[in-house]
A and B are shown apart, each in its own frame.
Chain A
């Protein structure tokens, strides 16, 4: 009997303890529930479509981000992109997207295969998936619709150039304004011949894939022909191996056309170094030791432009520079006798040759400039009046 009474007392004691401490236990569980992340709100409005203007294999997926995707929610980890072959494929993760993202690209889609996507919002260890997107398949496009404006621009300017080239071929005289630097080429080459000193030609420090280098080399061809005719000495220290090869071909051709193949010296066109300031040091050394009477700087230059030009100025050479690097133009203007600014570098070859076909292309360029000028004026009016975003027309995607 006593055992039974004691057992009942134990039971009552246990029950009372449970009743007294249960709020604490519940509170702890509630606190634990607060600490543990709750699943994030799912992403909505998931759409997938073929990425436009590409070579296929790409699908764009857009969505409206989870309402729990906020900067102050440190537990929100981002999104996982799940993909399945439509209609019955199994969803598998293909990529991640960071918090805040509302768009991503699946660049591993197979063309012609329909896929459907879910976006998994992740918060801590929990996640929630969106509804599946309508199916989408990737395909290649034959034309980049975001570049229609570039095509129209190219056609206008290209056709204008070709039109004026043909017009010039028909014998029509074209007016080209005088460019002082190019008018001085003959004088510069003649001066070097009289003084018995060399002519240096520096075709810039970029490689042959740069249009400024190409323009410089075409000018070299014209200058080399004059040099051959005047029987002067030409030296062309270069910064790139391919430029050396191209310059040699050009100068050889120029000497041949001038009827002086015997005067061509291959070693006059030589390589120094690819390194910018090593090249500048090498050319400076050559300038100070050889004391050329004339120096041409025609091509792409960077910080070494003033070092070269000042050294040439110091030895009293006549210097004709030309570059399409706007940052270097002030240095050449300050240190050289003549400077071809920007497009004058590209016009130089046509100007020196006086060939109608080449001069015609300069007129075509001017048409392009007129078109751009008109567009700027129209744009100023439209934007000032706030009519619409005119500048957007010229965005090339």
Chain B
């Protein structure tokens, strides 16, 4: 009886310890997992694959370092896909640290052997226009004029001098928008303004917490596809054939989920045993 009562009010540090073990141990294991592709991620991948070479993709980095474990693998995968298919990438951020995350993603990609000899050219194949304050107002202004909203790139070069930005006026010159979002401003604002008002075609990658809020937009057809959380990252990586951190970290996530479920079962078992004995006594 005491044992089950103690179980009901176990010190949370015991739980923390087991969760810590569940997260760390998989780093030393080499277990493959079967990743099933969800329709939403498949739709996102298909949207990228439908774009002909030379298409302009606007990638918006609306997240910061805390959300990087979930979103950075997706950013890297999307950028790789774009470079391999000769899609031109325009990167912006509605979060101050978004453009820096974009640079980190580029750094990761360009350090790969494949790109050492043939690195995409800045200003021709991709450009980083940096951060603009104003949240959803930035999106609204981009609907009128992207160069007016981002007059200079991340390094201070006027956009008129950037070859990739020639002919880019507003969303009608953008073939696809890919939004990586961890909160506000993020996918919801992009849908409300870029998709609903300016008819942009858009896909998104969100954190696992944010994704449920965004599913209604996928079902309503406002979003072309959605990749949610670490699992979405793993699915996206599987579809593109680039196995990265999204897939590797899924094992830790699986272990952690199992541990949490075990603890829930233990807690409920203790609860029912304690309650049953209380009723009998």
Chain A residues proximal to chain B, CB less than 8 Å: 71, 95-98, 101, 104-105, 107, 206, 276-277, 300, 302-303, 314, 326-328, 397
Contact = CB atoms under 8 A, between A and B. Distances in A.
A98 B53 CA distance: 13
Interface in B240-277: none
- The winner among A71, A101, A277, A302 for most chain B CB atoms within 10 A is A302
- The winner among A98, A107, A314, A397 for most chain B CB atoms within 10 A is A98
A326 B213 CA distance: 7
Binding site of B, secondary structure by majority: helix, strand, loop or mixed? loop
Contacts of A95: 169
26 contacts: A71-B52, A96-B167, A96-B173, A97-B172, A98-B173, A98-B175, A104-B172, A105-B172, A276-B64, A276-B66, A277-B66, A300-B184, A302-B182, A302-B183, A302-B184, A303-B66, A303-B67, A303-B183, A314-B12, A326-B212, A326-B213, A327-B209, A327-B210, A327-B212, A328-B209, A397-B197
B264 to A, nearest CB: 12
B144 interface: yes
Binding site of A, secondary structure by majority: helix, strand, loop or mixed? loop
Nearest to A105: B172
Contacts of A71: 52
A71 B212 CA distance: 36
Contacts of A96: 167, 173
Size class of the B contact interface (CB-based, 8 Å)? 20 to 34
B66 A327 contact: no
A335 B175 CA distance: 44
B137 to A, nearest CB: 10
Contacts of B183: 302-303
Contacts, number: 35
Interface of B: 12, 52, 64, 66-67, 144, 167, 169, 172-173, 175, 182-184, 197, 207, 209-210, 212-213
Contacts of B209: 303, 327-328
Nearest to A274: B96
A300 B144 CA distance: 30
A206 B184 contact: yes
A314 B13 CA distance: 11
Contacts of B182: 302-303
Contacts of A302: 182-184
B12 A327 contact: no
- The winner among B12, B173, B212 for most chain A CB atoms within 10 A is B173
A379 to B, nearest CB: 14
B178 to A, nearest CB: 18
A104 B172 CA distance: 8
The 3 closest A-B pairs by CB, nearest first: A302-B183, A327-B209, A327-B213
Contacts of B172: 97, 101, 104-105
Contacts of B210: 327
Nearest to A301: B183
A107 B213 CA distance: 35
Contacts of B169: 95, 107
Nearest to B50: A71
B41 to A, nearest CB: 20
Contacts of A105: 172
A307 to B, nearest CB: 11
Contacts of A328: 209
Contacts of A101: 172
A26 to B, nearest CB: 36
A65 to B, nearest CB: 15
